[in-house]
Amino acid sequence: MLDIRFIRENPDIVKENIKKKYQDAKLPLVDQVIELDAKRRAAIAEADQLRSNRNTLSKQIGMLMGQSKKDPSKLAEAEAVKARVKEQADRLAELEKQEAELEAALHKDLLQIPQIIDPSVPLGPDDSCNVEVERFGEAKVPDFPIPYHTEIMESFNGIDLDAAGRVSGNGFYYLLGDIARLHEAVLAYGRDFMIGKGFTYCIPPFMIHGNVVEGVMSQTDMDAMMYKIEGEDLYLIGTSEHSMIGRFIDQILPAEKLPQTLTSYSPCFRKEKGAHGIEERGVYRIHQFEKQEMIVVCKPEESKAWYEKLWRYSVELFRSLDIPVRQLECCSGDLADLKVKSCDIEAWSPRQQKYFEVCSCSNLGDAQARRLRIRYKDENGKMQLCHTLNNTCVAPPRMLIAFLENNLQADGTVLIPEVLRPYMGGKDKLVPQK
């Protein structure tokens, strides 16, 4: 959400940014919020004047009532002033109602205007215009066929989609045996990897209030993702970023405590609306999964450097698991409204012979901090908004797809990289049961 003063003083910049994001339907919002803001400020100014008048007139009434004991004519003057006070009180009540209505309308429109994107963001209408920046590791295609990921899991008696369908419907799964253990091993390794980088490990609430949802994501994303708890002001989180950033709502953080660097575990719940192709079936796009996340809350001047650090942590982690990856810069039309800059880390799929998304790293600037009022005092004692960033550490089971495909051998075994063996009871490979 942009500062209304910035919009008022830079309407052309805001409109140009909307065009860069290919959201021309939102252009009228800029003039609309400026008009609403002008009306709101006029109502506030008139209301303040009436409140000042009321104090003056109240003193005048008291003086006239005191004088009326000696001069009865003053009583009539006092009644006339009382009538003016009543008339102005009615107008003040009308203005206060008007203020509230204008404030609500202004807030609703401001939530829809996208954050100003970083100048380095490539322009394009959708993800087809995302730009590959760099590759890490050799993307190999083995000389034997790679089965679909659920078939690999089934060879270890590691998945039961049929039972999950009977119990919960499509988009759910049972993981079993070595595959379930591998799932937890990857999460535990991701946790310890981030702790080794100096991050504090957290387990947050898995449900959050509606005002926190509004603070961390756009209305469009909220409708497409979030599950609402019926009869309560609670939503299941789609990622631990939601509750982790929400933790700082209405807080003034000590400057010396910044940056806050946190790594959080949670289950994640998503509607995942729409039909998807064969490659997004199985356990690729599901309603419930677990994830280890990276969160940073920092001073504005630090956020660009942290953005670079975060996506490079993903590359380092995936390469330590013998998975080739690439960095893909998200174009303007593919950025969610709150994002200043974002990139995906994509893992190599030997079966598909292409890369697919496993991590998403985002710098949200002050967008979430403005909505949630997350601030700190600078060295001059002036209040400033923090910047917030997030990045996926590991998100199995999608990450398991990349792991299994890249570590699968011709005999059906799956090699366990050295860094993961302590979490797998010392095993150096998985041996299929079928």
CATH of the domain at 94: 1.10.287.40
Query: What three-state secondary structure class fits 415?
Result: strand
Q: Give the residue from 110, 138, 157 where a domain finishes.
A: 110
52 with 14, same domain: the answer is yes
Whether residue 397 has a cis bond before it, omega within 30° of 0: yes
Q: How many domains does the chain have?
A: 2
Per-residue model confidence as pLDDT tens for the chain (434 residues): 899 999 999 999 999 999 999 999 999 999 999 999 999 999 999 888 877 776 666 656 566 565 665 556 666 665 566 666 677 778 788 888 989 999 999 999 999 999 999 999 999 999 999 999 999 999 999 999 999 999 999 999 999 999 999 999 888 999 999 999 999 999 999 999 999 999 999 999 999 999 999 999 987 777 788 999 999 999 999 999 999 999 999 999 999 999 999 999 999 999 876 544 444 467 878 899 999 999 999 999 999 999 999 999 999 999 999 999 999 999 999 999 999 999 999 999 999 999 999 999 999 999 999 999 999 999 889 999 999 999 999 998 889 999 999 999 999 999 999 999 999 999 999 999 87
Would you state the pLDDT for residue 94? 84
208 and 103 in a single domain? The answer is: no
Q: For the stretch 387-425, what's the b/e string if a residue is b when 16 or more beta carbons lie within 10 angstroms of its beta carbon?
A: bbbbbbbbbbbbbbbbbbbbbbeeebbbbbbeebeebbe
Considering the entire predicted model, what is its pTM? Answer: 0.88
Looking at the fold, whether 79 and 174 belong to one and the same domain comes out as: no
pLDDT value at residue 223: 79
Handedness of CA 91, 92, 97, 99 (dihedral sign): positive
Residue 117 domain-assigned (yes or no):
no
How far is the C-alpha of 397 from the C-alpha of 358, rounded, in Å?
Answer: 10
Give backbone dihedrals phi and psi of 268, rounded to 5 degrees, phi first.
Answer: -130, 140
Closest to 327 (Cα-Cα) out of 353, 293, 358, 352: 358
CATH code, domain carrying 289: 3.30.930.10
49 with 149, same domain: the answer is no
170 and 310 co-located in one domain: yes
Q: Are residues 145 and 216 in the same domain?
A: yes
Reading phi first (left if > 0) and then psi (alpha if -120 to 50, else beta), residue 384 is in beta
Expressed as residue numbers, the domain containing 266 is 127-430
Residues 138 and 203 in one domain: yes
Q: Verify that 149 and 45 share a domain, yes or no.
A: no
Distance between CA atoms of residues 144 and 379, nearest Å: 62
Instruction: Kindly state whether residues 134 and 201 are assigned to the same domain.
Output: yes
Domain end point (choices 61, 80, 110): 110
Which segments of 68-144 does DSSP mark as H helices, in order? 73-110
Residues 132 and 250 placed together within one structural domain of the fold: yes
Q: Which of 110, 135, 158 is the last residue of a domain?
A: 110
User: How many whole angstroms separate alpha carbon 207 and alpha carbon 238?
Assistant: 9
Sign of the alpha-carbon dihedral angle for 148, 154, 160, 162: positive
Joined together, the tokens standing for residue 262 give 């946190």
Q: Extract the runs of DSSP E, i.e. beta strands, from 217-363.
A: 227-228, 235-236, 252-253, 260-269, 288-298, 325-329, 341-349, 354-363
DSSP 199: P
- Whether residues 152 and 89 fall in one domain: no
The single residue listed with the structure tokens 């959708």 is 126
Burial tier of 147 (Cβ tally within 10 Å: 0-12, 13-18, 19+): middle
Specify whether 255 is located in the same domain as 391: yes
